[in-house]
Amino acid sequence: MHEIHTIAVLGAGTMGRGIAHVAALGGFETRCYDPFPQACEKGAAAVARNLDKGVELGKVARADADGALERLDWYGDLAEAVDGADLVIEAVPEEVALKIDTFAEVAKHAPAGAVFASNTSALSITEMAAATDRPQRFAGMHFFNPVHVMKLIELVRGLETDDATMDALVAVGERMGKQVVRVNEAPGFVTTRINALIGNEAFRMLEQGVASAEDIDRALKLGLNHPMGPFELVDLVGLDVRLSILEYLHASLGEQFRPNRLLVQHVRAGRLGRKSGRGVYRYDEKGRRAD
């Protein structure tokens, strides 16, 4: 099995900073890379804030939080970040060409034996793996938002992924405090595929006037025990992110994933969710519901 001590995370956005947080807290030497210095600054502040909150709530010991911050460094240079890394976890924007180009660059600077993983929500692990020099040591590690809170990792096996890589990544996930399910590659894995279907159907019901957004959310929370309603969730995930996932699932799995017109209109209007202040619902500058 591969020994993993040092993890490089690519991208310091919503997911990358969260993965860096759980990696450092799990005891790994962690480097987080982003080409935009502001993203690293915001990422570092968010990790420190979330660790403090963990300490306040009694979920993380102060010494563990301090240790995590010591093990975590932020990089603006890709070559430096992946130099000597045993595992590289990619969390750059969801565009297959960008991910493939990023891994090609990583392969030039990372150790030949390093394992590569992508946090893609839906793209093909096999396609990305095939474009690298190490398809056997490539897998999907699908984390959930917010990473430091959510318990699951879907570990996605591509066509060529070997057992040693899967076993090593299960061990990494468990050290990060997560439960890991093994999934064979299929578009959208398990969770993204089902979630996209529910979210799209919710927009279809809203468009048809079946119920208000609030009532659809309440129905799923109170009647089906979902912790969040589909509209609350899509506002958190981002309507643009959801739309691109649906477009991909529609192309690969068929008609039942055709993106709903009302969702498309929201994206065209710039109503992207919490991050733009308005999605299905409105938010104030502190991110609180404002309607």
Ligand X SMILES: NC(=O)c1ccc[n+]([C@@H]2O[C@H](COP(=O)([O-])OP(=O)(O)OC[C@H]3O[C@@H](n4cnc5c(N)ncnc54)[C@H](O)[C@@H]3O)[C@@H](O)[C@H]2O)c1
Residues of this chain that interact with ligand X (CB under 6 A) are: 10-16, 33-36, 39, 91-94, 98, 102, 119-121, 143-145, 237, 241
Closer CB to ligand X, residue 100 or residue 237? 237
Closer CB to ligand X, residue 164 or residue 203? 203
Q: How far apart are CA 124 and CA 244, in angstroms?
A: 14
Return the residue matching tokens 């958190």: 236
Q: Quick count: other Cβ atoms within 10 Å of Cβ 22?
A: 26
Q: Strand 87-90 to strand 115-118: parallel, antiparallel, or no bridges (unpaired)?
A: parallel
Does residue 180 contact residue 170 with C-beta atoms inside 8 Å? yes
Measured from the CB of residue 118, what is the shortest distance to ligand X in angstroms? 7
Measured from the CB of residue 211, what is the shortest distance to ligand X in angstroms? 25
Helix (H) or strand (E) holding 43: helix 37-56
Return the residue nearest ligand X (CB atom): 13
Measured from the CB of residue 66, what is the shortest distance to ligand X in angstroms? 25
Measured from the CB of residue 22, what is the shortest distance to ligand X in angstroms? 13
Closer CB to ligand X, residue 150 or residue 210? 150
Q: Quick count: other Cβ atoms within 10 Å of Cβ 289?
A: 11
Report the interhelical angle of 261-268 vs 191-207 (nearest 10°).
90
Measured from the CB of residue 7, what is the shortest distance to ligand X in angstroms? 15
Q: Which one-letter amino acid corresponds to residue 127?
A: E
Closer CB to ligand X, residue 165 or residue 192? 192
Closer CB to ligand X, residue 39 or residue 65? 39
